[in-house]
Amino acid sequence: MPSVRSSPRCNPMETPGIAYLIRHSSASGDHNNNNNNNNKRSSRFSVLKVLKLFPMLTSGCKMVGLLGRPRKPMLKDNSTTATIFGQRKGRVSLAIQEDPYSMPMFFIELPMLTSALNKEMASDMVRIALESETKTQRKKLLEEFVWGVYCNGRKVGYSIRRKQMNEEEANVMQHLRGVSMGAGVIQSSEQSGDGEITYMRARFERVVGSKDSEAFHMINPDDAQGPELSIFFVRVH
């Protein structure tokens, strides 16, 4: 994957409603670093590093076969599943599920290309922030529709949450049903495009700061050290 560093600043992260979420993320990171002092020479494998295998994987999603399809969800109570995917030359989509078998409870097509997001993932810390400026509190946070999207401090545009996926997106989620984590390439079912869809799926710890702020922090397998990916949701009144 191409690499380029980006600024770690993220303006929406400075809002009071999401400050708790950042503190939780930083505290968790410090705690994990202390616990791993005796394991500095251990494997540094992480889900994001698997993204570098994209050019080596053929279509047909070999990672699905390697990871297997467990019959029961393997996530902790405070964990969810998030999948980031998209055609190499198309826009990237984000799906959040309670577990790998359920339908997405949140689905959105982000206003950025898959290639652009892959470049951002070269940095040690990737923060994606979705900010809603709704004036009502009747809906739950993840039920809001219109979102301003930021990536590592830069506003990349607006997106609208979708209640339903199109046929191509549904095929991807069905293909990955039961897969708890991994990365790879899936053959696209559409005739248009480049014919391949890259994806990354991982477990995320869900942290609720308030009714107007939530965060999802990626859990690296076996507490392995690696790049951090966090997705923040905040509602600004």
**167-177 pLDDT tens trace:** 999 999 999 99
Pairing, β 91-97 against β 196-210: unpaired
Is position 4 within any domain? no
Q: Is residue 184 pLDDT above 80, yes or no?
A: yes
Asked whether the beta carbons of 198 and 122 are under 8 A apart, the reply is: no
The three-point CA angle 177-229-21 to 5° equals 110
Q: State how many domains the chain has.
A: 1
Q: What is the pTM of this model?
A: 0.69
φ, ψ of residue 120 in degrees (nearest 5): -65, -30
- The token pair that represents 212 in the structure block: 């107007």
Residues 6+ apart with CB under 8 A from 126: 120, 151, 152, 227, 228, 229, 230
Q: Looking at residue 109, what is its pLDDT?
A: 97
Is residue 5 in a domain? no
Question: What pLDDT, in 10s, does the model give residues 37-63?
Answer: 444 443 333 334 444 333 333 333 333
Mean pLDDT over all residues of the chain?
74
Is 188 a member of any domain? yes
Query: Which domain range does residue 161 map to?
Result: 11-33+46-235
Determine how β-strand 228-235 pairs with β-strand 125-132: parallel
Residue 178 lies in a domain: yes
CA pair distance 165, 109, nearest whole angstrom: 10
Does residue 80 form part of some domain? yes
Element (H, E) at 197: strand 196-210
pLDDT at residue 25, as a whole number: 52
Asked, for residue 117, whether it belongs to a domain, the answer is: yes
pLDDT of residue 101: 92
**3 found inside a domain:** no
Residue 181 confidence (pLDDT) above 70 = yes
- Give 31's contacts (C-beta < 8 A, 6+ positions apart): none
Residue 101 DSSP class: T
Q: What is the pLDDT of residue 78?
A: 73
- Tell whether 164 is covered by a domain: yes
> What is the per-residue pLDDT for 22?
53
